[in-house]
Amino acid sequence: MTFFLSAFRFVSLFVALGIGFFGGQALFYHVNESQPSELIVLDSSEASYSFDPNPYIDLQKELLVWGACTTPGSFSPPCYEQIINNINNRADHLIYFSKLHGFDRVAIFGGSIEASWKNLQNMTLPSSDSLCSIVKNFNLEGITVDYLTYLNDDHDDYHELSRVKTLVSSVYSFNLNCEGQISSILFDQEPKYLNSFQSFASMLYIAKETSNTLSSQRDMTYITIGSFISPFWLDGTMTLVDSSVDIVPHLCASSDYCILMDYTSSENTFQEYGIKFSGLLSSEEDDASDVSPLSAKGSLAVEVGWIDAKDDESFGWILESDIEIWFQWLPKMIDDFLGELKHNDINGTIFIHDYAQYFKLLHGKEPDEFSYPPSGLFTKMDEN
């Protein structure tokens, strides 16, 4: 909500609340013990950055959220549970962070299907009551929520593959009973071995068909199915019905859209990935494929972290070397990438991977180390 405040009230709030100025706006974060957190946006002519942050803030983008930390403390719950249970207002802080940075979508990890199976057997998502409140609050702030998951903790283990039907059914049940709505289910499986790709494609196809069926049967909004793609598959082929097909088009056709993980620290390689990815998505589907036609939707996930990524597989070095350059570099690079997709009539967007690692690069500490969210886009490290 927007408030026009007297000078006295403004000064009072300045003292009581964390404030961050950017691009002519000030964002106030308020925690009420009995009510959900509120974002109060005030008009202001003051800006505290040496660059224009608006191209970054206005960039259409989604934040991948594995949790509020990378490694939980000795007596802390798992990092993802801190978000989906809003422990110490971690989900509220995430909403604030998302608004501040202009994320219009977030993908929240709710646990693997394997780890969540006891809940899913009852057609409920883990921590469903808390998650419902969180999704609702995100939606009220104009932020779309996707559900991030994978099948088994071993990414090349596809036993009980049919369990994806139960997961999709559980998400539909969640949407039926919650004012907040989950828009998509994103599978970050990324198998390592070639003999796993057909199982991966089958899993995506089952999830997509299940969603189609439930949407029609229950007269509900269709929940889209997305999949993450490794750049190391861009030149790969797989055998399907005694013929060879390109891996990436087949996997992308098995879902509604696919997201390419960039896994590089080089701008040139980044652009090469974009050209290859765009070309594969716009190519004709192999006649041997039994999945639906390509949806012509492809996106990119920019890796900034260090977990499961080598030094030459992340752009985190830009944030470490000159944090302000990052906010100017990203919009330009993404415009070039999305322009390549649009050239081939492909709709796309950008993801940042992932919240806890990105947060630490911006503020020097992980989200669970703050009792309230930092008020600026980044913290100068000499302020920590």
The CATH number assigned to the domain holding 239 equals 3.20.20.80
Task: Determine, yes or no, domain membership for 9.
Answer: no
Task: Determine, yes or no, domain membership for 20.
Answer: no
- What residue numbers bound the domain in which 324 lies? 51-383
Angstrom distance (rounded) from CA 212 to CA 228: 20
Q: pLDDT tens for residues 275-299? A: 888 888 876 444 334 444 444 578 8
Q: pLDDT tens for residues 138-164? A: 999 999 999 999 999 898 999 999 999
Helix (H, G, I), strand (E, B), or coil: what is residue 229? Answer: strand
Between 185 and 13, the higher pLDDT residue: 185
Task: Determine, yes or no, domain membership for 13.
Answer: no
Give 79's contacts (C-beta < 8 A, 6+ positions apart).
Answer: 66, 67, 68, 69, 70, 71, 72, 356, 368
Between 219 and 194, the higher pLDDT residue: 219
Task: Determine, yes or no, domain membership for 368.
Answer: yes
Q: pLDDT tens for residues 22-61? A: 333 444 444 433 344 444 343 333 447 889 999 999 999 9
Task: Determine, yes or no, domain membership for 181.
Answer: yes
Structurally, the chain folds into a number of domains equal to: 1
Task: Determine, yes or no, domain membership for 25.
Answer: no
Average pLDDT over residues 319-326: 93
Lowest mean pLDDT among 21-30, 239-248, 311-320: 21-30
Task: Determine, yes or no, domain membership for 41.
Answer: no
Query: Vertex 296, ends 331 and 289: CA angle to 5°?
Result: 140
Task: Determine, yes or no, domain membership for 217.
Answer: yes
